[in-house]
Every structure is written in structure tokens, then in C-alpha cells.
Amino acid sequence: MSRPPGGRGGARRVRCRCGRTVLRQLVGQRAALDVTADADFLTAAAAAALREPNRLDWCTRTGRDGIELLWAGCHRRKGECDRPHVIDHKCTAPPAAQSAHAHGRGRTRKTSVPEGQLTLG
């Protein structure tokens, strides 16, 4: 993604290869994370219950650019956050390498340059 991270642009609604609608955004100012989250809005408590070590939940805010994903730091505040939350997407589609191989597209291609040499494309 070439869009700047943070609050400039908001999240885009896109389709995952499994068919679900997801939200995509770079979240953060310095070391941004490329977030793909389910587009289903949850309460802060429901999102926190689904959180796992490698599956984060995100607080959302609606601005002039649409929905924006924010770090869910609101869990540290007293009381429950009243904004909608979303959770990282878990794709149910088969891995790309397996699906390409199943359709006969997983074959390697011969190139005209020696192995290890970069080509401009």
C-alpha cells in the first residue's frame, strides 16, 4: 500500500479471497501495521473477548474520510469504550500456493537470466 499511514485516508472496504468484506488500512504513524479486519462492528467487550496473541482488535472512528481504524488503547481507560470495534480477519480460503497448484498454475517458469540475477520488469 502506498497510502500514508494513520488518519489520512481511513480504511478501505475490500473483498478478501475468502469472499468476506474486510477493512484495510495502514495503522500507525511511524511503524505502521497493514491491518485487515472484519467489517463486522462489535462492542469493545465482544472484540476484547475475541482477541488472541496474533489477532488484535481495533477501535473505529468515523470521520470525513470514512471509517478509521485506531489502536484499541481504550481498554486501559475506566469504563467501556462506546465506539464500534473490529477484529483482525482470519481468512478461511485455502493458502494461495495450494489453490494455484490445484488449478495448474503452480508450475515454475524458465527465465532467460541466470539464477540470482535481477531483472527489470
Lowest mean per-residue pLDDT among 2-6, 19-23, 87-91, 110-114: 2-6
The pLDDT of 39-60, averaged and rounded, is 92
Query: pLDDT at position 42, please?
Result: 95
Residue 22 — very low, low, confident or very high, per pLDDT cuts 50/70/90? very high
Mean pLDDT value of segment 79-93: 89
Confidence bin at 59 (pLDDT 50/70/90): very high
State the Cα–Cα distance between residues 23 and 17, nearest whole angstrom: 13
Q: What is the pLDDT of residue 3?
A: 45
Q: Is the pTM of this model over 0.85?
A: no
Sorted by sequence, the CB contacts under 8 Å of residue 24 that are 6+ apart come out as 1, 11, 12, 14, 34, 35, 36
Label the pairing between strands 33-38 and 21-27.
antiparallel
pLDDT averaged over the chain? 79
d(CA 110, CA 76): 55
Angstrom distance (rounded) from CA 60 to CA 74: 11
